[in-house]
Amino acid sequence: MSSVVLVTGGAGFIGSHVVDRLAAAGHRVRILDTRPSPWHDSSEVETVIGDVRSLDDVVNALEGCDAVCHLAAAADVGEVHAEPAWATELNAMGTLNVLEAARRLEIDRVIYASTVWVYSDVDEPTVDEDALLPNPAHVYTAGKLSGELYCHSYAELYGLRPTVLRFGIPYGPRARPAAVIPSFVERALRGEALTIAGTGAQERSFIYVEDLAEGVARALSPQAAGRTYNLAGRETTTIRQLAEVVSEEVAPTEIVHTEGRAGDLKGAVICSDRAERELGWQASTPLREGVRRYAAWLHEHSAVAVAAAAPVVPAPVAESGMRRAATRLATVAGDPLYVGAAALIAVASAAVSAILGTADDARAANCLVVALALLVPLWSLTAVSWPFDRRRLQAAVVAFGGAASVVVLGLVSSDTDSTLHPSNVLLLLAVSAAATGVLRAVPRRLADDSA
Ligand SMILES: NC(=O)c1ccc[n+]([C@@H]2O[C@H](COP(=O)([O-])OP(=O)(O)OC[C@H]3O[C@@H](n4cnc5c(N)ncnc54)[C@H](O)[C@@H]3O)[C@@H](O)[C@H]2O)c1
């Protein structure tokens, strides 16, 4: 079924292939990126220039979409190592913003591009999606894993069912020149030696980028909701073997070794059987074939490839004070907790001024009873959590309850003859307790109805 799909990071290496694959499958694709796509004409693919670190930008771009594939990130581990604060804001907060925008706009399909780097500290020789993940050593892994954790939290708290895709190490046309296969191929084409960090025994499952894009497109299917999939190549290759393949397929070159990198991906065999079973997906391009295709592409496009891959470290998000305040206000106005806290403060203040403003003790006591009778159900309405899709209604009811309570207190305190008969006091408290009980039962009933 065709739909409108937002691809964040759609101007990038993998994102641009995802855009192409989705468009070929008949979807209407929109890109959200900090730069125009070097690979697409904006007259053909709608492009929103914006920053995933700004919730406003993400909400604006996502409006009218049926799904989002979130690929925008600091994906170069070298850049992440050099700029950990920027990278974390982008990789962790950027993902949180995408989830939050999807929550607000009630968009059901969210695909999150994670990475097999999450397995880099696992000691098992073979890993699948159920592997227990130790604390990550690298900031890149920590940031990407944070994104996964936010996906999990949004599933638990708000009923979103994001799909997490752990990408293997991609290569192919449009790859960043700094990545291992592009740099090997480029060096081989230039007749330079291939340098390997460490022994070269570290294993990788490389995946041809078009196979990866196909996996992302398949993950839009409803049965992928709430699932985590590895999308890795079927062949596992050591870096040393890769260098040999490049040397054989592209041009014969010398292979030299340098010191290993800190927090480098150790490498294990990544099992992608779940994606094969549930999505009918598997990486179909053999490494040799992919390296050949990439070398041919690079040969033809080397100037474009270098220009397109210029590192993009976006400037800090500059939002105007007004815009920030309006966004904050919009967030707060839809959250029953904030609305409720404001309503409770308003009712309590009205009660205090009513009590202090009365001349005799009996009327002050009456005002206190009325205030308590109004505050208890209002507090209960604020404190319980309604189902995600009814929270705006909850916020509206809380606001209405707060305003009505203030009015009632005003009427009670302005009525000079008002005294509450003891039986009326009891009746008022009983009604208040019953209302509180009902308001606590409402969310359970709503949740049952929507289940
Ligand atoms: N390339 C890899 O080796 C690899 C491996 C596994 C997972 N991944 C993940 O796949 C995704 C795509 O990676 P890639 O290799 O295509 O990276 P890339 O750097 O080629 O593309 C990232 C895109 O995001 C855009 N971007 C950066 N900051 C942005 C911001 N603040 N707001 C909006 N857009 C922004 C960039 O302009 C770029 O077009 C990332 O989430 C990455 O973590 C990549």
Residues 92 and 165 in one domain: yes
321 inside domain? no
Q: Is residue 343 part of a domain?
A: yes
Tokens encoding 388: 């995600």
Helices (runs of H) and strands (runs of E) counted in the chain: 16, 15
Tell me if 158 is assigned to some domain: yes
Statement to judge: residues 338 and 275 lie in one domain: no
How many angstroms separate the alpha carbon of residue 332 from the centre of ligand 1?
Answer: 31
Q: What is the pLDDT of residue 300?
A: 87
Same domain, 345 and 273: no
Q: Which residue, 283, 305, 309, is CA-closest to 294?
A: 305
**Torsion, Cα of 59, 60, 65, 66 (10° steps):** 10
Are 210 and 344 in a shared domain? no
- Domain shared by 150 and 276, yes or no: yes
Q: Identify whether residues 225 and 102 lie together within a single domain.
A: yes
Q: What pLDDT was estimated at residue 201? A: 86
First to last CA, the chain: 25
Q: Yes or no: say if 36 and 16 are a contact pair by the CB < 8 Å rule.
A: no
**Residue 359 and residue 275 in one domain:** no
Integer Cα distance of 175 and 437 in angstroms: 60
Establish if 312 belongs to a structural domain: no
What single-letter amino acid sits at 52? V
Please write the tens of the pLDDT for every residue from 381-414. 888 877 655 667 888 888 999 999 988 888 877 7
Atom index in ligand 1 nearest the CA of residue 179 equals: 3
Residue 308 lies in a domain: no
Q: Which of 82-91, 160-169, 416-425 has the lowest mean pLDDT?
A: 416-425
Residue 300 lies in a domain: no
Which pLDDT value is given to residue 57? 96
Which SS3 state, helix, strand or coil, does residue 31 take?
Answer: strand
Q: Same domain, yes or no, for 48 and 133?
A: yes
Handedness of CA 250, 255, 256, 259 (dihedral sign): positive
Q: Which ligand 1 atom sits nearest the alpha carbon of residue 10?
A: 39
CB atoms within 10 A of CB 259: 7
Same-domain pairing of 391 and 275 = no
Closest residue (by CA) to atom 38 of ligand 1? 12
Rounded Cα gap, residues 184 and 192, in angstroms: 9
What is the Cα–Cα distance from 414 to 255, expressed in whole angstroms? Answer: 91
pLDDT band at 264 (very low <50, low <70, confident <90, very high): low
CA distances from 48 to 62, 63, 70 (A): 10, 11, 14
| More confidently predicted of 265 and 33 | 33
| CA 204 to centroid of ligand 1, rounded, Å | 19
Which residues, judged by CB distance below 6 Å to any ligand atom, belong to the binding site of ligand 1? 8-9, 11-15, 32-35, 51-53, 71-73, 75, 90, 94, 113, 115, 144, 167, 169-170, 176, 312, 314
pTM of the model: 0.70
Tell me, yes or no, whether 383 and 279 share the same domain: no
- Protein residue whose Cα sits closest to atom 32 of ligand 1: 51
* Enclosing domain of residue 376: 334-444
Residues 225 and 356 in one domain: no
| Percentage of the chain modeled with pLDDT above 90 | 57
291 belongs to a structural domain: no
Distance of CA 256 to the CA centre of its chain: 40
> SS3 sequence, 258-290?
ECCCCCCCCCCEECCHHHHHHHCCCCCCCHHHH
How many angstroms does the Cα of residue 73 sit away from the middle of ligand 1? 4
Q: How far, CA to CA in Å, does 106 sit from each of 57, 139, 296, 330, 446?
A: 16, 31, 44, 16, 17
For residues 280 and 338, membership in a common domain is answered with: no
For 284-312, letters b (16+ CB in 10 Å) and e give ebebeebbebbbebbeeeeeebeebbeee
- Rounded to an integer, the average pLDDT of 417-437 is 81
One-letter identity of residue 133: L
Q: How many structural domains is the chain composed of?
A: 2
Residue nearest to atom 34 of ligand 1 (CA): 33
Report the CATH number that the domain containing residue 48 is assigned in CATH: 3.40.50.720
Residues 290, 246 contacting (CB under 8 angstroms): no
- The span from the CA of 276 to the CA of 280, in Å, is 4
- Residue of 178 and 166 predicted with greater confidence: 166
How much is the pLDDT for 5? 98
Structure tokens at 265: 């991906």
Kindly report, residue by residue over 225-257, the tens digit of the pLDDT: 999 999 999 888 899 999 999 999 999 999 998
CA of 220 to the centre of ligand 1 (A): 19
What's the distance, CA 315 to chain centroid? 21
In this structure, is residue 64 part of a structural domain? yes
**39-43, 111-115, 130-134, 240-244: range with lowest mean pLDDT:** 39-43
